[in-house]
């Protein structure tokens, strides 16, 4: 039995979906522990391409897939995902389970997400607009609605009758919007969802812990990335959940002593969607090159991703915050054509001070201190053996690993399952 956590080490979109799909071959159960349909996890195999937002990517391999209690679920978006899976004959009825205590994204959460962003003008976070922040806000304020609250119509109505007047007051007096939410309408809509989802609901902590007790291999699929974590990310430009590996314990009801391996997914360069600090961002042609070669457009919103060089300071912090046991490096093929490749090893602030950690409040004007590496300038996507990788690429990986303080276990040279090289199998299911 092994419990493996997959976590993004940067600002999301590192290729978690691809790696989860790859590793699911050896897993018995895959679970999401935080986030919602703000995530977009791309999986490509044969001629097919899937983007999963909430359902664990493991479902594409017909493995038991669990949406844990720490996630926030938009029922309408989930039904759309069901439709997508039907087209490839994946049985959600057979393979999907949803925590009965997962919180729901309500119609007012989506509306507030957009209105709050508009109200912030230039200071906006650049959210995905899916209602994630407002749903987690209500969860922590103890004003959330969970799947289990849908069971009894009188209970649901009672809760909404307390909550909705406050929401409507905000709409009318703060946002000056004519839109008002109706308890009757929401009760009807969400009771309908209950009927559609009731057979999927379970005590997900019990289910996952039973799998662990039965010596099954369990994979936890992180969403977003370490620097979007609400506690340890570039606050306030973060998402509203604990994206880091520690989130598994609260978000799936699994004790920390059960986790064996934590694999950090590292893009060979850096990207970010939305606002916030990004020390190695490239606003020049090189940024455009990475965006084009890496097809760096959001899997959820289609927004162009901001692109920049690999930042070893950031990933070293991710190694510490997540207790990473190894790294999976993705998108190395995107760098194939480059003569030289840079990586940041520190930052210098305007007063000349050197920083080897990303400070909690990022100072504008910090410039990265770069190291330059020779590129390999040859195609890599058809390479299947570690020993066949170009020497310059291996040097680049070794330097990354040395700077961030964790070994490399997996190398990804393309979006498909077979474009993956395992360099250290002992770091995975063993």
Report the interface residues with ligand IMO, using CB under 6 A: 8, 11-13, 38-41, 125-128, 130, 132-133, 223-225, 228, 239-240, 273-274, 299
Helix (H) or strand (E) holding 42: strand 41-45
Q: Cβ distance 312 to 318 under 8 Å?
A: no
Nearer to ligand GDP, 17 or 144 (CB): 17
Residue where the block lists tokens 């008002």: 180
d(CA 327, CA 406): 7
Q: Cβ distance 403 to 320 under 8 Å?
A: no
Q: Quick one: what does residue 38 bind among Mg ion, ligand IMO, ligand GDP, none, with the CB cut-off 5 to 8 Å set by partner type?
A: ligand IMO
Q: How many residues bind ligand GDP (CB under 6 A)?
A: 22
Long-range contacts of 123-129 (CB under 8 A, 24+ apart): 123/275, 124/275, 125/236, 125/237, 125/238, 125/274, 125/275, 125/276, 126/237, 126/273, 126/274, 126/275, 126/276, 126/303, 127/38, 127/239, 127/274, 128/37, 128/38, 128/274, 128/298, 128/300, 128/301, 129/301
Q: Cβ distance 329 to 412 under 8 Å?
A: yes
Nearer to ligand IMO, 41 or 373 (CB): 41
Contact residues: Mg ion, CB under 5 A: 13, 40, 299
Query: What DSSP designation does 130 have?
Result: S
Nearer to Mg ion, 264 or 346 (CB): 264
Instruction: Tell me how many degrees the CA angle 90-94-98 measures, rounded to the nearest 5.
Output: 105
Q: Cβ distance 345 to 312 under 8 Å?
A: yes
- Which residues belong to the active site? 13, 41
CB of 57 to ligand IMO, least distance (A): 10
Nearer to ligand GDP, 42 or 239 (CB): 42
Q: Quick one: what does residue 37 bind among ligand IMO, Mg ion, ligand GDP, none, with the CB cut-off 5 to 8 Å set by partner type?
A: none
d(CA 136, CA 130): 12
x/- site string to ligand GDP, residues 294 to 323, per CB under 6 A? -x---x------------------------
Cis peptide before 236 (omega within 30 of 0): yes
Q: Quick one: what does residue 334 bind among Mg ion, ligand GDP, ligand IMO, none, with the CB cut-off 5 to 8 Å set by partner type?
A: ligand GDP
Nearer to Mg ion, 29 or 299 (CB): 299
What does residue 275 show for φ and ψ, rounded to 5 degrees?
A: -85, 170
Q: Is 99 near ligand GDP (CB under 6 A)? A: no
Closest residue to ligand IMO in the complex (CB): 274
CB of 265 to ligand IMO, least distance (A): 9
Stretch that binds ligand GDP, among 86-94, 351-359, 392-400, 410-418 (CB under 6 A): 410-418
Q: Quick one: what does residue 390 bind among ligand GDP, ligand IMO, Mg ion, none, with the CB cut-off 5 to 8 Å set by partner type?
A: none
Nearer to Mg ion, 20 or 319 (CB): 20
Residue 270: strand, helix, or coil: strand
CB of 217 to Mg ion, least distance (A): 24
Q: Which residues bind ligand GDP (CB under 6 A)?
A: 8, 12-18, 40-42, 44, 295, 299, 330-331, 333-334, 412-415
């Amino acid at each position: 039995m092994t419990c493996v956590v997959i976590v993004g080490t940067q600002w999301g979109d590192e290729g978690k979906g691809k790696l989860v799909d790859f590793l699911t071959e050896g897993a018995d159960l895959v679970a999401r522990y935080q986030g919602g349909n703000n995530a977009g996890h791309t999986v490509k195999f044969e001629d097919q391409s899937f983007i999963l937002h909430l359902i664990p990517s493991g479902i594409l391999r017909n493995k038991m897939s669990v949406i844990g209690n720490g996630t926030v679920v938009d029922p309408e978006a989930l039904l759309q995902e069901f439709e997508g899976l039907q087209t490839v004959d994946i049985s959600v009825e057979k393979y999907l389970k949803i925590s009965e205590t997962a919180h729901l994204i309500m119609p007012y959460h989506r509306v507030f997400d957009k209105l709050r962003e508009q109200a912030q003008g230039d200071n906006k976070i650049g959210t995905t607009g899916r209602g994630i922040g407002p749903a987690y806000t209500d969860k922590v304020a103890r004003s959330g609605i969970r799947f289990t609250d849908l069971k009894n119509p009188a209970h649901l109505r009672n809760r909404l009758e307390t909550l909705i007047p406050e929401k409507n007051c905000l709409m009318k007096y703060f946002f000056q919007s004519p839109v008002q939410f109706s308890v009757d309408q929401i009760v009807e809509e969400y009771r309908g969802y209950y009927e559609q989802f009731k057979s999927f609901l379970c005590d997900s902590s019990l289910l996952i812990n039973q799998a662990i007790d039965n010596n099954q291999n369990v994979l936890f699929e992180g969403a977003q990335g370490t620097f979007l974590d609400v506690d340890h990310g570039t606050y306030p430009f973060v998402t509203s959940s604990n994206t880091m590996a520690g989130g598994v314990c609260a978000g799936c009801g699994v004790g920390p002593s059960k986790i064996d391996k934590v694999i950090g997914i590292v893009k060979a360069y850096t990207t970010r969607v939305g606002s916030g600090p990004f020390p190695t961002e490239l606003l020049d042609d090189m940024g455009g090159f990475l965006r084009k070669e890496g097809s760096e457009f959001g899997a959820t919103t289609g927004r162009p991703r901001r692109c920049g060089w690999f930042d070893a300071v950031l990933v070293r912090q991710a190694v510490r915050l997540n207790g990473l046991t190894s790294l999976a490096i993705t998108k190395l093929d995107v760098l194939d054509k480059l003569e030289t490749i840079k990586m940041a090893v520190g930052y210098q602030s305007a007063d000349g001070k050197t920083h080897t950690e990303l400070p909690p409040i990022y100072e504008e004007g910090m410039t990265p201190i770069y190291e330059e590496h020779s590129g390999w300038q040859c195609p890599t996507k058809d390479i299947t053996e570690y020993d066949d990788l170009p020497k310059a690429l291996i040097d680049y990986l070794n330097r990354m690993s040395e700077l961030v303080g964790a070994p490399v276990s997996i190398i990804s040279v393309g979006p498909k399952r077979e474009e993956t090289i395992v360099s250290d199998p002992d770091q995975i299911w063993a």
